[in-house]
Amino acid sequence: MANDKIAIFPAAGGLGGSTYNHLLNIVKPEEVILIARYASKIPQKFRDAGLVAREADYDKPETLAHAFDGASCLNLISYASIEHEHRSKVHKDAIDAARRSGVKHIIYSSLAFGGDCEPQSAAHVMQAHLDTEKYLASIAAEDKTFTYTAVRQGLYSESFPIYTAFFDLKNPSDEITVPYDGSGPGIAWAKRDELGEATARLISQYRSSLATFEYVNKTILLSGPRVWSYQESVDVLSKAAGKKVTVKPITVEKFASLPQVTGGSDYGAGESAKFWASAFEGVKNGETAVASPLLAKLLGREPEPFEKTVQEMAKA
């Protein structure tokens, strides 16, 4: 089988789904392999058009053995967790499997902590990404036939709940209680669908001409065009919710015991809440306060402002 296709794994999540929807406006379906835990989640219309749908699971390494066969370029999207060691391991397993299948370039979807692509972060959630970026760089240094692009995806505008103790626009509280007073550095929010679109364009650029592709063996940042301070972000939420909301700083211990945090998602289950609280250290350190022009460059337009995205979410 010729290795000339584009693969996306995992393809059924929000970022993966956005990426392939935009990618299929640029390339033919028969040039694409979508890999998900359940292939049934890949729309039938794309499969009918000639797209290859396969099943593989990060947590079942045996399923990765031939998942990437036929692909020359892989968009590898990170394991959905904030855990460190296991997450790093499964990323490595997927990378190794992809190389055995003949993949020559990996576009890895990382995360926009760590400032302007710095190699360290105070945020626990970033540690597996840093490991994976280093692993890709080490392979490329040893094997000149392999290249990579690590894309630090901006913090999703739509993900504001996990950074605001699960503030609910439909049932807003008076206070946002987090281990941060809201002053100082903030976040260069980016709309998830625009990150998917920009990633699709990166894939297309690589596909069109490796000789002119600007991002070979580089880590790049796709954050929003403006930094919103944490307080400004809360003000946007307050306006969209139609209610005055204040920021109340609390200790990590209190944050980790909040019912809306412990029950909000896997990010707050068990000891995870304390690990997740380290994200606020990253924010306070200015790690998420870097606005990048690259997102606009790839989109060919100005990205959607955080305020507009939140307003649309409030209306939905």
* Rounded-to-integer distance, Cα 234 and Cα 34, Å: 37
Average pLDDT over residues 209-213: 85
The reply to whether 300 falls in a domain is no
Share of the chain above pLDDT 70, in %: 97
Q: Are residues 146 and 238 in the same domain?
A: no
**pLDDT higher than 60, residue 8:** yes
Would you state the pLDDT for residue 304? 98
Q: Are residues 56 and 174 in the same domain?
A: no
Q: Are residues 134 and 15 in the same domain?
A: yes
Domain count, the chain: 2
Confidence of residue 267 (pLDDT cuts 50, 70, 90): low
The reply to whether 207 falls in a domain is yes
**pLDDT higher than 70, residue 183:** yes
**pLDDT higher than 60, residue 272:** yes
- Give the C-alpha distances (Å, rounded to integers) separating 259 from 115, 143, 256, 292: 31, 49, 9, 35
Q: Are residues 214 and 68 in the same domain?
A: yes
Residue type, 22: H
Question: Containing domain of residue 201, as a range?
Answer: 5-154+190-222
The reply to whether 299 falls in a domain is no
**CATH for 53:** 3.40.50.720
Confidence of residue 269 (pLDDT cuts 50, 70, 90): low
Exposed e or buried b per residue across 72-88, where buried means at least 16 C-beta atoms within 10 angstroms of its C-beta: bbbbbbbbeebbbeebb
* Rounded-to-integer distance, Cα 167 and Cα 261, Å: 10
* Rounded-to-integer distance, Cα 10 and Cα 117, Å: 24
Would you state the pLDDT for residue 44? 94
The whole-model pTM stands at 0.96
Would you state the pLDDT for residue 178? 96
Q: Are residues 71 and 92 in the same domain?
A: yes
Q: Are residues 129 and 75 in the same domain?
A: yes
Would you state the pLDDT for residue 184? 84
**pLDDT higher than 80, residue 271:** no
Q: Are residues 197 and 286 in the same domain?
A: no
The reply to whether 97 falls in a domain is yes
